[in-house]
């Protein structure tokens, strides 16, 4: 497969969408990002990586961080994790409070904010230094030891986090958070603020694409079956109330973030990361989704 030419063609074909959507501005620091950035990197299981555009520039991974946090929590808790968080698509926005109230503080899945906060609580109770352990794990996954949190982004989000704070408090009210609410929010925002580029994200996700290899990074181990199950959750819950649309148009397990990144995998073939900061109304990158739709259409490589 001539991925280099394919990526060049994709880059050209997404240009008509270059002004569609808008950068996430509810986190003031994210509003400062240049909306015209576009990068993509595809990492094959056996044939290296291919990239185009601003693929070497780091950006805020935001909710893509929830995949790494889930991997850690699943490795620690195993199936017991599912007594505190579900694995059903929510069909609602990533920051919705509605189901959480009706379902008595058990979030639908680990990829909506409420679920990720429960996961953050599990990490906090499992490690003395959970923020450092998280960073070590992602550094090992992507093979780069200089990726870092952006404290300014984390602080900026905390200062305006009225809705996320309400979610955390509702979880605490329902006794689904053991730690202090403020501590949980701090770890949650910190992990969201992690900055990575498309190469690093694609490399990190390769571990989920290649479920034939043992998964063991910085002391975090997953079985082959656990990796496949994580992919199942990415497929059904990775794009919130647009998970069906992403499945329909792209057909890959993946995860988006309001920083404009999307990481996805084609099991036993490749991982791919794309970045374009303009988002649609569901909080997913417009050009990112379009690029991945083109990729799986041109290559016929999706899970379907």
Question: What's the DSSP call for residue 43?
Answer: E
150 is a contact residue toward ligand GLN (CB under 6 A): no
Pick one of 51, 55, 62, 210: the residue that binds ligand GLN (CB under 6 A): 62
d(CA 107, CA 167): 10
From the CB of 2, what's the least distance to ligand GLN, in Å? Answer: 33
Q: What is the pattern of x (binds ligand GLN, CB under 6 A) and - over residues 173-192? A: -------------------x
94 is a contact residue toward ligand GLN (CB under 6 A): yes
d(CA 231, CA 150): 27
User: Cα separations (Å) of 278 from 10, 69, 151, 272, 274?
Assistant: 17, 25, 23, 19, 12
Name the residue among 1, 27, 5, 19 with its Cα closest to residue 259.
27
Compute how many residues bind ligand GLN; rule: CB under 6 A. Answer: 11
First to last CA, the chain: 18
d(CA 236, CA 172): 26
Structure tokens given for 294: 């083109």
157 is a contact residue toward ligand GLN (CB under 6 A): yes
205 is a contact residue toward ligand GLN (CB under 6 A): no
Pick one of 39, 283, 289, 292: the residue that binds ligand GLN (CB under 6 A): 283
Q: For residues 254 and 238, is the Cβ–Cβ distance under 8 A?
A: yes
From the CB of 6, what's the least distance to ligand GLN, in Å? Answer: 27
Structure tokens given for 13: 């074909």
Pick one of 75, 113, 156, 235: the residue that binds ligand GLN (CB under 6 A): 113
Residue ranges in 252-281 that form contacts with ligand GLN under rule CB under 6 A: 257-258
Pick one of 43, 55, 164, 296: the residue that binds ligand GLN (CB under 6 A): 164
Catalytic residues: 63, 66, 188, 240, 258
CA angle 116, 277, 142 (to 5 degrees): 60
Instruction: Give the residue closest to ligand GLN by C-beta.
Output: 63
What does the binding site for ligand GLN look like in residue numbers (CB under 6 A)?
Answer: 62-63, 94-95, 113, 157, 164, 192, 257-258, 283
């Amino acid at each position: 497969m001539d991925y280099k030419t394919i990526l060049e063609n994709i880059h050209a074909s997404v240009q008509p969408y270059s002004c569609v959507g808008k950068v996430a501005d509810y986190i003031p620091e994210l509003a400062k990002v240049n909306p015209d950035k576009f990068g993509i990197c595809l990492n094959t299981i056996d044939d290296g990586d291919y990239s185009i555009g601003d693929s070497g520039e780091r950006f805020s991974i935001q909710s893509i961080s929830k995949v790494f946090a889930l991997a850690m929590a699943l490795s620690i808790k195993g199936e017991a994790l599912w007594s505190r968080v579900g694995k059903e698509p929510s069909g609602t926005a990533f920051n919705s409070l509605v189901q959480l109230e009706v379902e008595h503080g058990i979030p639908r899945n680990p990829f909506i904010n409420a679920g990720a906060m429960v996961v953050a609580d599990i990490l906090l109770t499992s490690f003395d230094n959970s923020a450092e352990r998280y960073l070590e794990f992602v550094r090992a996954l992507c093979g780069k030891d200089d990726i870092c949190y952006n404290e300014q982004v984390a602080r900026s989000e905390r200062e305006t986090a009225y809705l996320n704070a309400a979610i955390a408090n509702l979880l605490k009210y329902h006794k689904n958070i053991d730690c202090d609410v403020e501590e949980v929010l701090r770890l949650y925002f910190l992990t969201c603020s992690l900055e990575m580029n498309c190469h690093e994200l694609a490399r990190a996700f390769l571990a989920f694409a290649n479920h034939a290899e043992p998964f063991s990074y910085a002391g975090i181990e997953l079985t082959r079956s656990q990796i496949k199950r994580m992919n199942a959750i990415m497929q059904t819950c990775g794009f919130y109330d647009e998970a069906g649309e992403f499945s329909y148009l792209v057909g890959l397990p993946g995860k988006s973030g309001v920083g404009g990144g999307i990481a996805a995998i084609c099991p036993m073939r490749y991982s791919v990361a794309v970045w374009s900061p303009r988002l649609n109304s569901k909080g997913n990158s417009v050009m990112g989704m379009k690029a991945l739709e083109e990729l799986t259409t041109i290559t016929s490589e999706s899970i379907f």
